[in-house]
Amino acid sequence: MPHLTSATTGTASTGVRTGFGVPGYAHPLVAPTEWDLLTRPGTPLHWVVLDVADGPGTRPDPQCLEAAGRLRNTGVRVLGRLDTAHGARALTETIVDAGRFVDWYRVDGFLLARCPSERASLPAIRRTVSALRAVRDGGHIVLGHGTHPHPGYAEDADQLVTFAGPWSDYRWSQAAEWTAGHPPERFCHFVHGVPHRHLEEALRIARWQGAATVWFTDRTDRGGHHDPWESVPGYWDDIVSRVGTGVSE
């Protein structure tokens, strides 16, 4: 059963509004409709990840620049995706990519994909976050663990992705006890394969577990051969309405 301690109370008492964290659409040339939908007035967006080519690519991409600029002009944060390779990637490579994201696309921060979660990797990720804040002063940093990490990670980043996976796992998931000591705006959940009929249940789980930033989709990974985050959910209008109509309860 989902964790129902003070994380639930925190969501309601602080009046946190649930919103979307978009993990990263396909390239704007491939998914123009998806990028257009994000700029519609009233879409409850916290941030959108820009992933040009497993990072910023090797040269500026005009279509990605335009898509990112349209979002930023509406007040939406755009985050550059940086792959940490579970801690195996060199810090210098990560910082080079971060600089490209800032110089070419004027991103507002970064999502560290495949971020390690164990205590042993904490010092290295702290160095990475510190270096990223020097590259983008005031930038928003999201650590993409996909699971509950050692609680020390919460001391460095603005947000942690504490779940990323299928609905079949999410519906039975539980929040780590330590998360109850932090407000809901610190946590993100990405869930694929959520049937339309279970959408409200998924939103309740996020509220119970104290996660204010979510991305739920009925798309699946099809055995690992398809990225479920590349397109909008089939129930886009409904989830926008459900998430955008009020404060989490």
CA atoms of 52 and 54, how far apart (whole Å): 6
Residue 247 lies in a domain: no
Domain that holds residue 137: 18-242
Q: What is the pLDDT of residue 5?
A: 32
pLDDT per residue over 80-95, tens digit each?
999 999 999 999 999 9
pLDDT at 12 over 50: no
User: What domain count does the chain have?
Assistant: 1
Q: What is the pLDDT of residue 245?
A: 72
Q: Which residues contact 203 (CB under 8 A, 6 or more apart)?
A: 18, 214, 216, 242, 243
Residue 112 lies in a domain: yes
Average pLDDT over residues 191-213: 97
pLDDT per residue over 209-240, tens digit each?
999 999 999 999 766 556 899 999 999 999 99
Residue 224 belongs to a domain with what CATH number? 3.20.20.80
DSSP letters of 184-205? GGGEEEEEES--GGGHHHHHHH
Residue 7 lies in a domain: no
Average pLDDT over residues 19-26: 94
pTM higher than 0.85, yes or no? yes
